[in-house]
Amino acid sequence: MKIAIPVETDEAEPRVAATPDTVKRLIGLGADIVIQQGAGLTSGIRDNEYAEAGAKLASAATDAVADADIVLKVRRPTAEELATYKKGALVIAIMDPYGNDAALKAMAEAGVTAFAMELMPRITRAQVMDVLSSQANLAGYRAVIDGAAEYGRALPMMMTAAGTVPAAKVFVMGAGVAGLQAIATARRLGAVVTATDVRPAAKEQVESLGAKFVAVQDEEFKQAETAGGYAKEMSKEYQAKQAELVASHIAKQDIVVTTALIPGRPAPKLVSKEMVESMKQGSVVVDLAVERGGNCELAKPGEVVVHNGVKIVGHNNVPGRLAATASSLYAKNLFAFVETLVDKNSKSVAVKWDDELVKATCLTKDGAVVHPSFAPKHA
């Protein structure tokens, strides 16, 4: 059984799908590991560290993936990459499947069995494989660090001989995994933190971190969580009430971190141009949802926009801004999943097709898109 880890072809992707630690563990499953030279460099891992862990090194991607039974990646492979994979190979990555039908079809036609790590069900057994959580947690931390770096003032209250510096006010919108870590990070830096979310369960979590919860808490709010624990898309009426409350609150904030997402939908627009214009000179908005359409009307992917003296930070791939940590957690998530897909005794791939983790994540198989959410609908 051969497992390959090629260099990520997207130049904007510094993470890598295996670390020396997970290489050792994969070898423990009976696999031969082939790493393309340089795959770990942007995550601070040198080729010799992989070699010392027991991996073989390949100079070209084609050599790394040739005959591989499993290809581990961060991002979905391109058509050019797919052409070099063995038919029937398992390809495991963050597949970004929503709205990308053509890419899913290309994977089906290439004959690979593709698994989308971000579709892993959020059940206890799969927590160790939850890439959304491992990466969002880091993004939430980094968003506050980026916001603090752009903010021209200190965050904690400081009482000095030269005078007292007031604590910065940080407002976190969306209190899921990223938002809760943003709250915790801003609190550690000494800011006065408030947060909002449409899910009632978030209130207690926000308060347990020492932040104040700000939200319109009406009947719709009480029903706003799906069985899977995600947010529902709220009605126009709710959004208008929430926007009014948020508008008066935002005007008083120094740093706003937005993290609100709805699975499979564009990110909800929460911070309008007028709200940005109500903020003080030198304030900062960090939009973690920028790649999904943005929570802030003015955010642009990959840019720091300055509008009326307010900086709107829209970095892409925020977990990649902490590539070494992000790779180490992502690689562990992948290892835990791979462990369920192989048979240690026969040292071969042995996918249990009726396993709920497999059913939830498998996008393509035997030449077809098989996932119920993405398979072409027949009349």
- Do the beta carbons of residue 189 and residue 182 sit within 8 Å? no
346 is a catalytic site residue:
no
Q: Which residues contact residue 305 at a Cβ distance below 8 angstroms, ignoring those fewer than 6 apart?
A: 298, 299, 311, 312, 314
Tell me how far CA of residue 101 lies from CA of 17, 52, 116, 184, 364, in angstroms: 24, 40, 14, 38, 11
Q: Which is nearer to ligand NAD, 201 or 240 (CB)?
A: 201
Which one of residues 97, 147, 174, 314 is an interface residue with ligand NAD (CB under 6 A)? 174
Give the whole-angstrom CA distance, residue 254 versus residue 232. 29
What are the φ/ψ torsions at residue 157 (nearest 5 degrees)?
A: -70, 135
- Do the beta carbons of residue 302 and residue 315 sit within 8 Å? yes
Asked if 287 is part of the footprint of ligand NAD (rule: CB under 6 A), the reply reads no
Q: Which residues contact residue 252 at a Cβ distance below 8 angstroms, ignoring those fewer than 6 apart?
A: 169
Q: Which is nearer to ligand NAD, 315 or 365 (CB)?
A: 315
321 is a catalytic site residue:
no
| Closest distance of CB 307 from ligand NAD, Å | 22
Which one of residues 176, 314, 319, 320 is an interface residue with ligand NAD (CB under 6 A)? 176
Choosing from 101, 125, 127, 218, the catalytic residue is 127
| Closest distance of CB 364 from ligand NAD, Å | 24
Which one of residues 95, 119, 143, 261 is an interface residue with ligand NAD (CB under 6 A)? 261
| Closest distance of CB 372 from ligand NAD, Å | 20
Which one of residues 234, 279, 286, 349 is an interface residue with ligand NAD (CB under 6 A)? 234
Asked if 268 is part of the footprint of ligand NAD (rule: CB under 6 A), the reply reads yes
Asked if 230 is part of the footprint of ligand NAD (rule: CB under 6 A), the reply reads yes
Choosing from 122, 153, 188, 265, the catalytic residue is 122
Give the whole-angstrom CA distance, residue 293 versus residue 3. 35
| Closest distance of CB 88 from ligand NAD, Å | 31
Q: Which of 360, 361, 377 is nearest to 114 (CA)?
A: 361
Asked if 125 is part of the footprint of ligand NAD (rule: CB under 6 A), the reply reads no
Asked if 231 is part of the footprint of ligand NAD (rule: CB under 6 A), the reply reads yes
| Pure H helices in 116-224 | 131-150, 177-188, 201-208, 219-222
Tell me how far CA of residue 31 lies from CA of 54, 92, 148, 149, 252, in angstroms: 10, 16, 44, 44, 56
130 is a catalytic site residue:
yes
217 is a catalytic site residue:
no
Asked if 140 is part of the footprint of ligand NAD (rule: CB under 6 A), the reply reads no
Asked if 150 is part of the footprint of ligand NAD (rule: CB under 6 A), the reply reads no
122 is a catalytic site residue:
yes
Q: At 321, is the secondary structure helix, strand, or coil?
A: helix
Tokens of 338: 């791979």
Asked if 173 is part of the footprint of ligand NAD (rule: CB under 6 A), the reply reads yes
Active site residues: 122, 127, 130, 133, 230
Q: Summarize as ranges the residues that interact with ligand NAD (CB under 6 A).
A: 122, 127, 130, 132-133, 136, 173-179, 196-199, 201-202, 229-231, 234, 259-263, 268, 270
